[in-house]
Amino acid sequence: MISMIRGRARDMLTVFMRLNRRWRMLTVRKLLYLPRILTGREKRLFVFLALTGLLSGIAVLGRAYAALTRPVPQVGGAYTEGIMGSPQTINPIYAVTDADRDLARLMFSGLFTYNGSGALQPDLAERYEISKDGKTYTVVLREGTIWHDGELLTTDDVVFTIKRIQNAQYKSPLRLNWQGVDTEKVDARTVRFTLRTAYAPFVENLTQGIIPRHLWEPVEPEQALLHTLNLNPVGSGPYRLKRFKHDDTGSLLWYTVARNPRFHREGPYLKEITLMFFKSEEEMVAAWRRGDIEGFGPVSASRANALNADAARVASLATPRVFSVFFNERQAPALADKKIRVALSHAVDRERIAEQATTGGGIAITSLLPLHSAPAGETTTGVPYDPARARELIAAAGWKDTDGDGIFDKTVKDKKKTETVSLEFRLSTGDSPELARAASLLQEMFAAAGVRIIIDALPFPNLESRVIRPRNFQMLLFGQVYGYEPDPFAFWHSSQIKDPGLNIAFFASKRADRLLEDARRSTDAEKRAASLGEFSRIAAEVLPAIPLYTQLYLYVLPRDMEGASFSRISLPADRFNGVERWYRKTKRVFF
């Protein structure tokens, strides 16, 4: 039986070998003769089948490659952006203009930074610890971080930077931010900050850009502001100086930075970034249309809508600047009546003001604090827009339109005389186009509710010295600027009613004071948010001001720019917080 099976197997093997030789003979000797043997129709069919098989094979391989690989950023490409203004001091301890801060953000690093959604993340720091009493912050640096010139970055540089800011001789505009903070080196990688009292928003101070001690230590105070290092900076950020160009008057025309290959975090991927400097938005838009720049900001909403959507992406970034109408009942006794304050709030169409008054667009708000201050899911319910209800409340407060001019009035008696006074207020504000438009809209809305408004627009220096600091106003249209870690204490605590405090509406509440104190002391984010949320509810009940809108920053980027992910900034320079992850080129790698 076994021998029979073996015999059949040998026979089958012999047949297979013969067929294989014949097929090979056909392939080698006769395949070349097929064009002579086949008819024209058969030739076309043969070519069609061969191409179909080839293309099918390529498609299968392509799908398999795509399924087994993924695109990742690759180093390459460049980017040119237009900004308004020209830099003077590209130094994080002196930068005060947007142009200065933009370049400083590209070339310097802080212990921490914020991502595109406003969350704190380590930069030069590897980790940190806050003491239980909230007064001591201990930070450990990453190991092996290098300055652009190749020197090692240590805690000596961190301590030097803060001491330089605190030294009044060097005239840093950031000095007040660091008053009462003791900075000490623990070792080459550990630094400790000690505060006199707990202050939760202090963590935002730790985003301060660090400067190199070995270059700046020899610079005397009288040399610091004009030193060449302010234009030829050495930092530890994702980009380093490559070249720049002046015009005939000495003003910078453009400034190019190149990627730092020894950057301590991911990236950077773009090889170069060039910032070109302009005097107006019109010039920037014209340069974009010519192709001289690929992105710019800020841009007005009207111009953003007119841009070619195929070439540009317009990012709408929320900012923590809140614009409100503040009441001063000490100069306008009618505002002491809550019915009048509520009526005025009913008269305001916030959505219309946010849409029509703002340059870059805005978000209508009902809280006196920025959008991200309250606990997740909680909002402050504001007074709805209802002009009819506004008129009802004013009438209920004892005012009438006795002369039919559309403005409410009242007869007032005192010991000496009796007179009829109109419901009229002076609205003070700045002379910027945006505030002028907002004031005009408010004037129209209040008139519809029977209230006359007289607009008093002043240049900002005069507004501060003549109106805000002495509290010389009846109603004030102005903005309050918060950071990523909002601290409303200076704006709303009763201890800040007198100048130089910023509680310009004379708001006083013991409960609100305790909440503001708890919020600035607590390092627990949820507890802070709960305290601020409760404060917002108290303020909404008392109504010391009418919240209107928070500004948006409209930022134009090229469509093919990837990795630029953001929704919230505090300062315009914050759009570059994650610039090391921006890219325009990719490569595929296997999973």
The 10s digit of each residue's pLDDT in 358-372 is 888 899 999 999 876
Higher-scoring residue by pLDDT: 368, 5: 368
Averaged pLDDT for residues 449-462: 96
Residue 7: burial class (beta carbons within 10 Å; 0-12, 13-18, 19+)? exposed
pLDDT recorded at residue 96: 86
pLDDT recorded at residue 53: 75
pLDDT recorded at residue 375: 52
Rounded CA separation 420/236 (Å): 68
Rounded CA separation 344/327 (Å): 10
Beta strand residue intervals within 415-464, DSSP E: 418-422, 424-430, 452-458
Q: Does residue 479 surpass a pLDDT of 90?
A: yes
pLDDT recorded at residue 12: 45
* Three-state secondary structure readout of 244-276: EEECCCCCEEEEEEEECCCCCCCCCCCCEEEEE
The 10s digit of each residue's pLDDT in 202-240 is 999 999 999 999 999 999 999 999 999 999 999 999 999
Rounded CA separation 274/280 (Å): 18
> Average pLDDT, whole number, for the chain?
89
Question: Cβ contacts of residue 192 below 8 Å, gap of 6+?
Answer: 136, 137, 138, 139, 183, 184, 186
Phi then psi for 34, rounded to 5 degrees?
A: -60, -40
Of 495, 529, 523, 526, the residue nearest 509 (C-alpha): 495
Report the run of H or E that residue 7 belongs to, with start and end: helix 2-25
Rounded CA separation 368/228 (Å): 43
The 10s digit of each residue's pLDDT in 523-576 is 888 999 999 999 999 999 999 999 999 989 999 999 999 999 999 999 999 999
Of 459, 530, 532, 521, the residue nearest 492 (C-alpha): 532
Separation in Å, CA 315 to CA 301, 302, 370, 564:
11, 14, 19, 10
Residue 311: burial class (beta carbons within 10 Å; 0-12, 13-18, 19+)? middle
Rounded CA separation 382/354 (Å): 15
Rounded CA separation 209/535 (Å): 33
The angle formed by the CA atoms of residues 476, 478 and 481, to the nearest 5 degrees, is 145
Q: Does residue 119 surpass a pLDDT of 80?
A: yes
The 10s digit of each residue's pLDDT in 262-305 is 999 999 999 999 999 999 889 999 999 999 999 999 888 888 88
Report the run of H or E that residue 216 belongs to, with start and end: helix 213-216
Higher-scoring residue by pLDDT: 35, 167: 167
Q: Give the pLDDT band (50/70/90) at residue 254.
A: very high
Instruction: With 0.85 as the threshold, say if the pTM is over it.
Output: no
Q: Does residue 24 surpass a pLDDT of 90?
A: no
pLDDT recorded at residue 65: 66
Report helix, strand and coil shares of the chain as percent, to nearest 5: 40, 25, 35
Three-class SS of residue 485? coil
Q: Does residue 418 surpass a pLDDT of 80?
A: yes
Rounded CA separation 11/83 (Å): 86
Q: Does residue 26 surpass a pLDDT of 70?
A: no
**Looking only at Cα atoms, what is the longest distance across the chain?**
140
Q: Does residue 5 surpass a pLDDT of 50?
A: no
Q: Does residue 97 surpass a pLDDT of 70?
A: yes
